[in-house]
Amino acid sequence: MRDHRANRRIRLLFATFGLLFLVAIGRAAWLQGPQHDHLTQMAATQQREVIAMPAGRGTIYDSTGEPLAIGEQATTVYADPRTVVDAQRAAIVAGKTLGIDPNKLYPELKDRAKEFVYIERKADPVKAAALSKQAIPGFGFYPEELRTYPQGRVASHVLGFAGTDNHGLDGLERSLDTTLSGQSGSETIVKDPFGRAIDVVTSRPVRSGRNVTLTIDHQIQSDAEQVLARTVKQFGAKGGAAIVMDPRTGAILAMANYPTFDANHFSTSSPDARRNRAVTDAYEPGSTFKIVTIAGALEDSVVTPSTRFTLAPTIRVADRVIHEAHLRGTEVMSVKDILAQSSNVGTITIAEKLGAGALASWIGRFGFGKPTGVDYPGESPGLVLPLQNWSGSTIGTVPIGQGIAVTPLQMVTAYATIGNGGVRVTPHLIEKIGNRQVGHPPGSRIVSARTANRMMTMFRDVVLEGTGTQAAIPGYTVAGKTGTAQKAERGHYVSKYVASFVGLVPAKRPRFAILVMVDEPHGNIYGGSVAAPAFRDIARFDLQYLAVPPDAPETKAGTLTAFGGPSNQ
């Protein structure tokens, strides 16, 4: 009886093992058959991983070779939550080593539905190396660049900035993104069951971006920014812009704006602070625009510097009566006097003699109403009313810089044209890409050398009579023009002003064309008192910095060679 029961149990055991064997064989056949492709794909996914290798972004240098935008070494730390063994411990170790909050990291690491999460993007490479030594399963590391701006706020509006993915988001970083970015590479790695890389199967090499050299000089730029900021704060102004240009080549040595921002912390700055007013903002220029009317009339032989007019204190143009900035009686003035005293009535009289068609043509020839062609994104063309849309009073407003909007860059380019003997050159910021010199369009003649020389000569004798005396620089002749333009809002002029000064120095052979524009100054509103001193300070630094020899060593402080005064002064 006992033998019978024992045999029965043995047969049952064999049957059980046989059944399990058949199940195992069936399972194996199912896995190797219908599930083969799916499992093969899962295994490859678990064992292999393609890691992108970002290309190094090109460096942006100033004209002296000083880096303005560079890529610093950083390490990105990531994890595959599916292969993280202890999510809590991993979060604590990573948080302590990298200085991040482990409580925010832990939910990410324990979520096994995810295949990839960032631990920290562009971490400190020293801290990342320390974490790597912990050999935490599921963690991975790859090198990246952190875009930084070693000069801080200097030239931030020109440079713009690049985002976390090292793609340009604003300024030259954006417009030159393809040049600076290069081409990313990749690596296909094999991992062990713990998610640790054990071999590199394939790789695609990285092609770094090209370097760019600008015309900006960081010393000239920094000084212009400091002077502009001081001026805006002194007069409680809304903002301002300053440009320093070489009139001979169009190279922009400085382009300053206020308010400003630090490109290293662009995300915390306001859109208003990031706006490059020198290129994007259009404003009514006021008296600085009179240079177009006078130069055009001289070139067309409508007047000469000595042509005289008997001028009443007011002038009626269609339905408008336009006054001088200051009360005076009827006077006889030459063209030279009209510009020196910034006479509105005299300028309009010359404009009427020149004619609306010719004036409109000269406005276009000087480059107003269209972009200058500067190699910077987002340039405004300004606002110029087409001739066919002129009303009867337009010939009385546009010649004195009202009813027209220009950018600071357009205005300084117009003055640079006069300072360059009548030849207009295209303003530019980019000097070299890699080792290749960037070509720029050849200059185009706008007025004759004779007209340009007459413009310069006509006002070098104006010393104390003009309104720009505060732009004087001892030892140098200065040619320039003040502007005080009333602002319009919703079609009506209000008690807000733009004060400006545009000048050329040394006047005998200009090396710099410099514009200073201050938006809505308070207390003192006049270009001669607000913007001219800022011009003087910027120009004086530039002359000394580049060791430009004095061209008038006999002059004393307070002496100025100027292009007259503002229309609203």
Report the alpha-carbon distance of residue 540 to residue 232 in Å, rounded: 19
Backbone angles phi, psi at 411, to 5 degrees: -70, -45
* pLDDT tens per residue across span 300-353: 999 999 999 999 999 999 989 999 878 889 999 999 999 888 899 999 999 999
* pLDDT tens per residue across span 2-36: 555 666 666 666 666 667 666 667 566 555 656 55
Annotated active-site residue in 181, 222, 287, 529: 287
Backbone angles phi, psi at 346, to 5 degrees: -65, -40
Per-residue HEC secondary structure of 461-513 comes to CCCCCCCCHHHCECEECCEEEEEEEEEEECCEEEEEEEEEEEEEECCCCCCEE
**Contact assessment for residue 214 and residue 175, using Cβ atoms and an 8 Å cutoff:** no
Indicate the DSSP class of residue 525.
-
pLDDT, mean of residues 138-146: 84
**Contact assessment for residue 327 and residue 308, using Cβ atoms and an 8 Å cutoff:** no
The pLDDT of residue 56 is 79
Question: H or E segment at 147?
Answer: strand 139-148
* pLDDT tens per residue across span 199-257: 555 666 667 789 999 999 999 999 999 999 999 999 999 999 999 999 999 999 999 99
By DSSP bridging, strand 117-123 and strand 67-79 are: antiparallel
Indicate the DSSP class of residue 465.
S
Count the alpha carbons within 13 Å of 469 in the hemisphere toward its beta carbon.
11
**Contact assessment for residue 506 and residue 542, using Cβ atoms and an 8 Å cutoff:** no
**Contact assessment for residue 535 and residue 480, using Cβ atoms and an 8 Å cutoff:** yes
List the CATH code of the domain at 218-545.
3.40.710.10
Residue showing tokens 């032989």: 301
Tell me the domain boundaries of the chain: 49-81+111-214, 218-545
The pLDDT of residue 557 is 47
Report the alpha-carbon distance of residue 141 to residue 109 in Å, rounded: 15
List the CATH code of the domain at 49-81+111-214.
3.90.1310.10
**Contact assessment for residue 247 and residue 346, using Cβ atoms and an 8 Å cutoff:** no
Instruction: Name the H helices within 378-514.
Output: 394-397, 408-419, 449-460
DSSP string, 265-307: GGGGS-HHHH--HHHH--B--GGGGHHHHHHHHHHTTS--TT-
**Contact assessment for residue 286 and residue 402, using Cβ atoms and an 8 Å cutoff:** yes
For 280, the token pair is 């994007």
* pLDDT tens per residue across span 91-107: 999 999 999 999 999 89
Report the alpha-carbon distance of residue 304 to residue 286 in Å, rounded: 23
Say if residue 479 is exposed, middle or buried (CB neighbours under 10 Å; 0-12, 13-18, 19+): buried
Active site residue 287: yes
- Residue 543 CB partners (closer than 8 Å, separation 6+): 473, 476, 505, 506, 511, 512
Residue 416 has pLDDT above 70, yes or no: yes
Report the alpha-carbon distance of residue 313 to residue 315 in Å, rounded: 7
Of 150-159, 179-188, 249-258, 416-425, the poorest mean pLDDT is in: 179-188
Residue 45 has pLDDT above 70, yes or no: no
Residue 185 has pLDDT above 70, yes or no: no
**Contact assessment for residue 278 and residue 178, using Cβ atoms and an 8 Å cutoff:** no
Indicate the DSSP class of residue 481.
E
